[in-house]
Amino acid sequence: MICVANVDDIIEDCAKGLEVNNFYLIAVKKDSQVYLYWNRCPHLGTPLEWEEDRFLDNAGELIQCSTHGALFRIETGQCVAGPCQGQYLQSVPFTIVDGLVMVEDHLLRAPQPL
Ligand code: FES
């Protein structure tokens, strides 16, 4: 398992970009739950953030793609508006061990899923 973040470093109602072994992820904390996705829009595969650690819409309710504005539910990754409506951000399986977000090694070594 590889540690990708400390849970306490992810601020409630905020998102954080993560880079591990040249793999890019986004972590979001909402209602004390952590959500983890590959940092890649299902529309064109571009990174999502507007600027460093800025992934959410103005209301802080949805993840918003900076390229064409698609909006995704934080809890499921489902796109609810925009050119990839109905598609999903791809979640990254993880476990929390002693306050650390841990991801299986092979997910951060193999080519990223499309
Ligand atoms: S690349 Fe994200 S909405 Fe087009």
In this structure, the residue with its CA closest to atom 3 of ligand 1 is 68
Tell me which fold the domain 10-93 belongs to.
Rieske Iron-sulfur Protein (2.102.10)
> What per-residue confidence (pLDDT) applies to 109?
84
- Candidates 108, 110, 91, 113; CA nearest to 20 is 108
By the 8 A CB rule, do 86 and 92 touch? no
* Integer Cα distance of 51 and 100 in angstroms: 25
Residues 76-87: tens digit of each pLDDT: 999 999 999 999
- Among 46, 66, 88, the mutation site with the greatest number of ligand 1 atoms within 8 A of its Cβ is 46
* Integer Cα distance of 14 and 53 in angstroms: 8
What are the structural domain ranges in the chain? Answer: 10-93
Q: Which atom of ligand 1 is nearest to the CA of 44?
A: 1
Tokens of 96: 């929390």
Which pTM value belongs to this model? Answer: 0.94
Tokens of 79: 């796109």
